[in-house]
Amino acid sequence: MEMINGIHRWNSIDRRPLTLALGNFDGVHRGHQAIIRTAVDAARAAKGRSAALLFDPHPSMLLRPDPSFALLTDLVDRAELMAGLGLDYVIVEPFTEELAALPPERFVEDILVRKLAVSGVVVGYDYSFGRHGRGKVETMAALGEKYGFTVTICPAIRHKQKIISSSAIRSLLQKGAVAEAAALLNYYFFRHGKVIRGSGIGSKILYPTANIDIPARLIQPGQGVYLTAVAGPAAGGELLFGVTNVGAKPTFTCSRAAIETHILDFQGDLYGRTICLYFLEKLRDTRAFNSPRLLKEQISRDILQARKLIAKRYCRQVAKGCAAPGLKETGVKG
């Protein structure tokens, strides 16, 4: 798959018929996956190519700025997840006030027809576009008929009778319900980053940990201790497991949020190297202990619990589906 920076570059890339998936696709969850697969299948049937159009920054950040809003995935993660579905291209267009102000028909005429020359468009049931989101799926269907391209509307995808959405997944993650979020995503929620130096407390008096730095605008699971799978240099090409603390360290009166992982059965220096954490399930809430000794005893129990869960529910063959961002077999039950 190829990422195209800017719609203006498109016409020189590929002149075969284009089937375009439209949406924000934050998280590339099971509902998004249905849209993208539909576009991929339609493009192959037409002997054309498939693409998704993404706007950067996320429209919500420009239209409804909220400091607490955080994304499930950055552009690179979204692109890699989409590549796993067979998509040919991701087209990234800067989202500006001028673009946001386009009336629905102008958006279709200027962007979809004149610049991208789409032969087909695939959208979700709740897709909106144009100024103030006034264009709905019915609008797109009517404009498709007017301008001569097909419009496919994908229905809502449900899990346990509830519609799957990015906002629902964010809510689950904020509660620490990473296993439930995985069922909606169809893959284990992951975060990757460079290993940075922390306070040094872990290596001195507790257990050694790898601390990763995550951009503020990407959502993290709620504070707590989690069983994670760890991919990257630490694993030497394989997948290891870890016990990860997300949040502050109240025992040491440290309020600075952090993501730190004790990697099971690993010793080595990871500073400056990138690892990826896949959140399998929550072990417990974060709480303060009266002494470092009591905290260390609790971490020992966390590690024991983690090893029991790994033996009971996970194995390297299943967890290896996490080894790279993408829609591989994870053992997540939908």
- What's the average model confidence in pLDDT over 61-70? 80
Q: Using alpha carbons only, what angle is made at residue 147 by residues 143 and 149, rounded to the nearest 5 degrees?
A: 90
Residue 13 has pLDDT above 80, yes or no: no
- What's the average model confidence in pLDDT over 64-76? 86
Residue 219 has pLDDT above 50, yes or no: yes
Residue 289 has pLDDT above 90, yes or no: no
pLDDT tens figures, 154-180: 999 999 999 999 999 999 999 999 999
CA–CA gap between residue 177 and residue 271 (Å, rounded): 29
Residue 333 has pLDDT above 60, yes or no: no
Q: What is the pLDDT of residue 329?
A: 37
Residue 323 has pLDDT above 50, yes or no: no
Q: Which residue has the higher pLDDT, 216 or 74?
A: 74
| pLDDT band for position 249 (cuts 50, 70, 90) | low
- What's the average model confidence in pLDDT over 186-190? 94
| pLDDT band for position 312 (cuts 50, 70, 90) | confident
- What's the average model confidence in pLDDT over 247-252? 59
Span(s) in the chain for CATH 2.40.30.30:
189-322
Fold for the domain defined by 189-322: Elongation Factor Tu (Ef-tu); domain 3 (2.40.30)
Question: Of 95-99, 233-237, 271-275, 286-290, which gets the smallest average pLDDT?
Answer: 233-237
CATH number of 2-156, picked from 3.40.30.120, 3.20.20.100, 3.40.50.720, 3.40.50.620: 3.40.50.620
pLDDT tens figures, 257-270: 689 999 998 888 88
- What's the average model confidence in pLDDT over 10-24? 89
Q: What is the pLDDT of residue 65?
A: 73
Q: What is the pLDDT of residue 288?
A: 84
CA–CA gap between residue 205 and residue 18 (Å, rounded): 59
| pLDDT band for position 207 (cuts 50, 70, 90) | confident
Residue 127 has pLDDT above 60, yes or no: yes
Report the C-alpha dihedral over residues 292, 296, 299, 301, rounded to 10 degrees.
-130
Q: What is the pLDDT of residue 206?
A: 66
The CB-based long-range contact list for 200-207 (8 Å cut-off, 24+ gap) reads 201/249, 201/252, 201/292, 202/260, 202/262, 205/292, 205/296, 206/292, 206/295, 206/296, 206/299, 207/262, 207/296, 207/299, 207/303
Residue 67 has pLDDT above 80, yes or no: no
- What's the average model confidence in pLDDT over 292-319? 84
Q: What percent of the chain has pLDDT over 70?
A: 87
| pLDDT band for position 322 (cuts 50, 70, 90) | low
- State the distance between the two ends of the chain, measured CA to CA, in whole angstroms: 27
Residue 95 has pLDDT above 70, yes or no: yes
Span(s) in the chain for CATH 3.40.50.620:
2-156
Residue 332 has pLDDT above 50, yes or no: no
Q: What is the pLDDT of residue 317?
A: 45
- What's the average model confidence in pLDDT over 187-201? 83
Residue 252 has pLDDT above 50, yes or no: no
Q: Which residue has the higher pLDDT, 286 or 324?
A: 286
Rounded to the nearest integer, the mean pLDDT of the chain is 87
CA–CA gap between residue 28 and residue 36 (Å, rounded): 9
